[in-house]
Structure 1
Amino acid sequence: MQSNEPVIYFAAPPFPYFMDCGRSIYSPGDEHPNRRNMGVFDLILVERGTLYIGEEDLEWEVKAGRTLLLLPDRYHYSIRPCEEETSFVWVHFRELGEWGVAGGTEPAFADRDHHAARFGTPPYTIRLPQFGTLPGAPGGSGEGERLLRLIERSLSGAVWERQRLFEELLRSLDLRRREPAGSPAESVAERTESYIRAHYAEPLTAASLSEALHFHYNYLTRCMKRVNGLTPMEYLEECRLEQARLLLLRTESSVAAVAEKVGFETAPYFSRRFAERFGISPLRFRQRHTR
């Protein structure tokens, strides 16, 4: 993917949810319909041939093995008819959370911490290329093909399996998960995570992380954001809050003592961050779960 290709960012949780899918086969001379404001995301996986599609001021030739994600609030149109028999799988889905489009810098999502607190899981940003490459063989294999098979089954018997396969498809396209195993960014991110998990209770700073790991903090941040979507200091706070939650459940230490044990400088700041993260104060969390 070229650096100037749009990237679609989805703040999660909540994760996008599957609606419908199908396979379309165009003969030479057929063309994709023109549509405006569909209201759903339209993920196209081309199996053979070439689709010629535009969206607003962007135009693509989508060949076999390529993917295109059409946005729900844009105008889509055919550039020209197909020149050969063309087959593609389409997947419609919706997004309940925030989403945005950017060329390279992740947009700021105002409600991501609120959603993370509601769902009790660290915030994550799914990054999908608008024009990308389908992992594996393009000829009717993988999650798209299995989704098509499930469409033939009753809704009650297949609804959970469809969502699971859809999420696997998104995961395979997620640019963050495509970071090659053993790549420099992945290696640096793993070293950073390991160091933070071992030293989270200590007064870690950007300078001390940089000194311990022998990389400039800006580079550590780029690697961490690319691989898991969090900066080192955000990851540090996640570790501290998760450990605090365990201590609140498993010990009788005071809230102030728990805050000190996991590395927070003051109990009030710890309580505020805990409440923002989990939607409940440390004391009420303990009372609710240890009765």
Structure 2
Amino acid sequence: MSGQYLSISCLPLPTYVQGGHIIFNPGERHPNRNYFQFFVMMFMLRGKLYIAEDEQKYTVCPGDMFILQPKHHHYSWKAMDETTEYYWIHFAVTGDYIQTKEPKHIKSVINVPSLHYYTPDVTLFLNKHTKIPDSDAIFSTIKKIFSSSKTQNTVGFWQAQQLFIDLLQHVQIQNPAKSSTSILATKIQRYLRDHYDEKITNEKLGKIFHVHPNSVVLSMKKRFGLTPNLFLTKYRLEEAVKRLLSTSAQISKIATDVGYQNVYYFSMAFKKHYGISPSQYRERYISLNQTIDKNSKGNHLS
């Protein structure tokens, strides 16, 4: 086997495009293709497929699963020497992916909020070349995918997509353990979200999580691209915006509620981030709402 892994971002999810069943006779070759736009997933039934991706040669045997990357050069490095049969599936991804010797976490191309909602980076890990796990279940799912897609209607399309996701769950490998740095950063992030209205320093975080303050900063920057202080500032200001727009509380009260003991420092931080003062932000929102309401009533009367 190749000892290589495909790591694919699953936000958005991979999409089933088409699939089929093929038999090659001795002497025939797999098509020579450059920059084919889809992943090609193969499930070998019999014979041997001598396939290359760019300069790397592979021999795919009965009971093997093998995956070709999109937009690479695929060709036979040797003709079939016996009758060769396999199922094939083409699928597409709009997220990022990478092929490496070790599984890698891939960030989503969708901007998932990290300040108020924690959605883990969902990465699909696949062996490029491996033995088919639970072949009976997998072949049964493949046949159902083909059957659904042949109906050529909306119901069949969605059934095929759902079955394809089931197939990926069958063949994916276990999520590799997160690094200690990533685990630490996640814990710190959650603590900051739960205690944003308190006074928090790197030293305090270091004591809470039993690490050096420098490790606190480095882990957050590596995992979230923000220092703890910057993460805390952004979170506090977003909480302040919620209160400005949904309550009539005084600015000084909002400042205290989100962790600022000094209202002037809060106002400076707010203006630096949003470009206007907290009171101007609230007034702009109220004015905008009044304009929308006025236009809505005018349209209704007309």
Shorter-chain TM range is 0.5 to 0.7
1:20 pairs with 2:18: yes
Aligned with 1:165 (options 145, 148, 163): 163
Any stretches of 5+ residues in structure 2 without a counterpart?
A: 261-265, 276-280, 294-302
Task: Give 1:173 shift.
Answer: 4.8
CA-to-aligned-CA distance 1:39-85 (integer Å, 9 cap, x gap): 22222233455432110012222334543332221110113344555
Partner of 1:157: helix, strand, or coil? helix
Aligned mates of 1:143, 1:248 — CA distance in 2: 52
User: 2:123 pairs with 126, 143, 148, which one?
Assistant: 126
Write the deviation string for residues 186-244 of structure 1: whole angstroms up to 9, x where unpaired.
998987787566546556677655643446859x959xx9xxxx559699969959x94
Query: Aligned to 2:135, what secondary structure does the other structure show?
Result: coil
> What is the distance in 1 between the residues matched to 2:137 and 2:50?
20
In structure 2, what is the Cα distance between the partners aligned to 1:62 and 1:187?
Answer: 38
2:42 is matched with which residue: 41, 44, 56?
44
Write the distance in 1 (CA, Å) between the matches of 2:201 and 2:131.
40
How far apart, CA to CA, are the structure 2 residues paired with 1:137 and 1:87?
19
For the residues of structure 1 that align with 2:147 and 2:55, how far apart are their CA atoms? 35
Shifted more, 59-68 versus 200-209: the winner is 200-209
In structure 2, the CA distance between the partners of 1:14 and 1:108, relative to structure 1 (3 Å rule), is closer
Q: Deviations over 1:15-41 (max 9, x none)?
A: 332211122234555442221122222
Q: Percent identical across equivalent pairs? A: 23
- CA change 1:68–1:248 in 2 (3 A) is farther
> Hey, what's the Cα distance between the residues in 1 that align with 2:258 and 2:132?
41
DSSP 3-state at the match of 2:52: strand
Query: Match of 1:275?
Result: none
Q: Tell me: CA distance 1:112–1:82, structure 2 relative to 1, closer, same or farther (3 Å).
A: same
Partner of residue 53, structure 2: 55
The residue that corresponds to 1:94 in the other structure is 92
Shift of 1:144: 3.0
Give the number of equivalent residue pairs.
Answer: 268
SS of structure 1 residue aligned to 2:36: coil
- Give the secondary structure class of the aligned counterpart of 1:54: strand
Give distance in 2, aligned partners of 1:164 and 1:234.
Answer: 40
Counting only pairs closer than 5 Å after superposition, residues 63-74 of structure 1 correspond to structure 2 as 63-74=61-72
CA distance in 1 between counterparts of 2:102 and 2:49 reads: 26
2:6 match: 7
Q: Partner of 2:270 in structure 1?
A: 267
Alignment partner of 1:136 is 2:138 = no
Moved more, 188-197 or 13-22: 188-197
C-alpha separation in 1, matches of 2:36 and 2:137: 26
RMSD: 5.5
What is the CA distance between 1:253 and its match in structure 2?
A: 5.9
User: Could you tell me how far apart the structure 2 residues matched to 1:170 and 1:195 are?
Assistant: 34
Q: Whose Rg is larger?
A: 2
Give the residue type in structure 1 aligned to 2:153.
L
Q: 1:186 to 1:56 in 2, by over 3 A?
A: same
- Once the two structures are TM-superposed, the CA of residue 121 in structure 1 deviates from its matched residue by 8.9
Greater relative contact order (Cα < 8 A, sep 6+): 1
Contact 1:135 1:172 in 2 (8 A): no
Which of 132, 144, 147 is equivalent to 2:145? 147
Give ranges in structure 1 of 5+ residues lacking alignment. Answer: 273-280
Aligned partners of 2:33, 2:122: CA distance in 1, in Å? 28
- Mapped contact 1:206–1:233 kept (Cα < 8 A): no
Letter in 2 for 1:68: F
Task: Please state how far the C-alpha of 1:130 moved relative to its aligned partner.
Answer: 5.9
- 1:81–1:251 CA distance, 2 compared to 1 (3 A): farther
Q: Distance in 1 between matches of 2:99 and 2:57?
A: 16
Match of 1:212? Answer: 208
TM-score (norm 1): 0.60
For 1:8 and 1:188, the matched residues in 2 are separated by 23
Structure 1 CA distance, aligned partners of 2:183 and 2:151?
43
CA pair 156-82 structure 1, distance change in 2 beyond 3 A: same
